[in-house]
Amino acid sequence: MESDLFEHDHELFRDSVRSFVDKHVVPNLEKWDTDRLIDRETWLAAGKQGLLGLSVPEQYGGPGELDYRFRVVIQSEIARVGASALQSGFSTNDDIVLNYLLRHATDEQKQRWLPGFVTGETIGAIAMSEPAAGSDLRGITTTAVRDGDHWVLNGSKTFITSGILADLVIVFAKTDPAAGSRGFSLFVVEDGTPGFSRGRKLDKVGLHAQDTAELFFEDVRVPKEHVLGELGQGFGYLMQSLPLERLGIGIAAQVSAEAVMSWTLDYVKERTAFGKRIGEFQGMGFTLAELQTAVEVSRSYLDRCVREHNKGTLTAVDASKAKLWATELQGRVIDAGVQFHGGYGYMMEYPVAKAFIDARIQRIYGGTNEIMKEIIHRDLLKA
């Protein structure tokens, strides 16, 4: 897919990312799906290759690279081989958990936690969703009560990406039930803290290699030094960080759609039926023409959003549009890809089949697409 988003430095970086993917990702895809876990050695190798924690400032061991285009390169190269679960894990670390720490952590907290995000030694998770509270986070029941120099955390979380491997978890909890949206705060819970436990590794439709889990907090004593940001500002912090999270999901959808278009075009150019290549049949050809056009137009919008993010001007509404459009398009492209592969499209040995089951969550997490429409709708009605 042609794009004018990238410059020479990004293409040099792409060579490094592609080398990592070919060496450490492609040979392990089947094993990761079987184990339902991505081994820590892969995270360490990615850190050694300089692929993690790009935005971590130099004083905390990182390169201090704020140009999000480098993250897009990583996402693109991972999508090229259909490693959606790895992409999800890396994005959770760099676009979500790390984003919260960079925005709201104190210098002491950054010194403690950020270096590991660069080396791959620290895997993070964000614990928001609960069994009875998904998109409406005001409905959470996890609480944190002050007790001297600690906060006592009680509750449970579910659908937590990297929940099994996580070394630290940012927990969204209610600290003042009477304060409305200002009654929520963020806490950092480290692995090994008494009372913090992990439940089962959830059996998902797709993203099998991505460790998604239930987390439990039973009288977990969190030192006051592990409060992230100001008390009562947790909900506001969520709102500030959602645009990047949703942009990341949109980019993941876009590069996945591009990869599947490439696989499908290769297939229909080679597969023959009734004496000619199946791509020459007009019914299939018109669908491919429509989808290719949509993918290219979509890329232009996503590129614009990346530039806006780099400038610090990406709005929550535009990020919602990116997430909504790109994930819906991803579904259409992959569905057509499966159909045009015929019976082989239903075989897990073909990457298009794996893409089919991995992609369905894209329209759900980060805020369902129905929530994205509501955000866009409300913006349209502003005076």
> What are the catalytic residues?
245
Q: How many Cα atoms sit within 13 Å of 353 on the Cβ side?
A: 10
Nearest by Cα to 309 from 380, 237, 369, 245: 245
Report the alpha-carbon distance of residue 128 to residue 113 in Å, rounded.
20
Report the alpha-carbon distance of residue 303 to residue 322 in Å, rounded.
10
Q: Which residue has the tokens 């990583």?
A: 74
Q: What are the C-alpha distances in Å from 59 to residues 105, 134, 346? A: 14, 37, 49
- CB of 74 closer than 8 Å to CB of 89: no
Q: Which two tokens stand for residue 116?
A: 């590991």
Q: Is 13 helix (H, G, I), strand (E, B) or coil?
A: helix
Report the alpha-carbon distance of residue 63 to residue 56 in Å, rounded.
6
Report the alpha-carbon distance of residue 30 to residue 65 in Å, rounded.
32
